[in-house]
Structure 1
């Protein structure tokens, strides 16, 4: 599986987060979170606040204790009472592409990255948010590309 090492500039994001105790719980419940978020129309509200740095949504895993806060977010400097604000810190990331329908391909590529690619590489994980970037497009298309960014030293 191909990947590249990319430097990422600090980015402020706004959105809604939910806490998950484990990766298993997160993988099971994040698709439901997205479905609820989109059905409620929050995606349209949040999209209106996005800046022009990225055309799409982020799914960000912010480490929190023994679990993670997963945030559905957009790039934005706007601060409102309705949305949480957080920062994806600058640093190096391994960038993978999951090509195919969401969420199946994201989960497959993420699992392979952590179980096979990273252990065999010379990259050490860095304690920072991991994130997915969902560009505008049809998330169910066979050729849809989701970016997966994993922080490394």
Structure 2
């Protein structure tokens, strides 16, 4: 499930609690739906919507309180407790800051109240993406060293894939692949002693011994932003990287974890229009 779908589920969950339950939203339930810590979820929410989660919940409380004041005879003290305020005084202060008038004044027929609408998050976007927490990955395969020139590196990587296919490396990798689901990784950078090394590897996730002539890389447990790229490769993945560089990185400035970036190629027909590949960006889940 992509982030937009999860966020809409959480928005619906919050709305249910605000309108039907006189209690605070459950942070643990939100973290469960989001698939990450509550603190990290709040950061993503803020990035995506330009408002903090706490502000959104507060604005919705005061919007709904305004509806109640105009449409019911509920006492102000009852409204204050319904929407989680410690006292009528604190509720009145918050209400006036949001609406510009007191709760008592809001009951006048001519009074106009501010409305902060429920978020409607579109589930349609060019690239679906989600946050996934993955366990340690043990990758085995072959690698080449890269230069400092991006254009030259692109040519070398394409040539490397062709060589691996022609020389039977792909067949060897597929035979030892124990990942779930199965697929081949393209790995940028090194790990461990090779930290910072300019290398590119073609590998699979496996529990088998390292074959002769192959190398091993172990990536620690980490949090990843995972992007689905649909279409024939390599163009689908190239378009995915372009989207990340031009739009996503500026819109969601997560801190990059000390871990290589990955491409993942599913076990399917790579030239089909519905073929799925992925880009994995390692990110830091800060408290």
TM-score after normalising by structure 1: 0.89
The one-character-per-residue Cα deviations of 1:18-70 (angstroms, maximum 9, x if unpaired) are 11124433323212211111011111122212225331211111246766311
Find the partner of 1:18 among 125, 144, 155.
144
- Go from structure 1 to structure 2 and tell me whether the alpha carbon gap of 1:125 and 1:24 turns closer, same or farther (over 3 Å shift): farther
**Distance apart, 1:114 and its partner CA:** 2.4
- Which residues of structure 2 form unaligned runs of 5+? 1-126
Taking the aligned partners of 1:113 and 1:132, their CA distance within structure 2 comes to 13
Partner of 1:53 in structure 2?
180
- The aligned residue for residue 91 of structure 1 is 222
Aligned partners of 2:179 and 2:204 also within 8 Å: no
Which residue of 1 is the match for residue 267 of structure 2? 136
CA distance in 1, matches of 2:262, 2:195: 18
Contact 2:189–2:199 (8 Å) recurs in 1:
yes
Residues matched between the structures, number: 153
Whole-Å Cα distance in 1 between the matches of residues 253 and 166 of structure 2? 42
| C-alpha distance in structure 2 between counterparts of 1:106 and 1:52, whole Å | 21
2:281 is the counterpart of 1:150: yes
Of 16, 24, 27 in structure 1, the residue corresponding to residue 154 of structure 2 is 27
Stretch deviating more after TM superposition (58-67 or 124-133): 58-67
* Separation in 1, partners of 2:239, 2:156: 16
CA spacing shift, 1:52–1:66, aligned 2, 3 Å = closer
Residue 180 of structure 2: SS of its match in structure 1? Answer: coil
Q: Quick check: which has more Rg, 1 or 2? A: 2
> 1:57-76 alignment to 2 at 5 Å?
57-63=184-190, 68-76=198-206
Higher helix residue share: 2
Counterpart-to-counterpart distance in 1, 2:265 and 2:226: 13
Task: Give the distance between the partners of 2:262 and 2:160, measured in 1 at CA.
Answer: 16
Residue of 80, 84, 94 corresponding to 2:211 = 80
Contact (CA 8 Å) 1:21, 1:66: kept in 2 or not? no
More strand by share: 1
Asked if the contact 1:21/1:67 (under 8 Å) is kept, the reply is no
Equivalent of 1:121 in 243, 252, 255: 252
CA distance, structure 2, for counterparts of residue 67 and residue 52 of structure 1: 25
Tell me the equivalent position of 2:25: none
Query: What is the distance in 2 between the residues matched to 1:52 and 1:5?
Result: 19
Cα distance in structure 1, aligned partners of 2:233 and 2:220: 25
Relative contact order (alpha carbons < 8 A, sep ≥ 6): 1 or 2 greater? 1
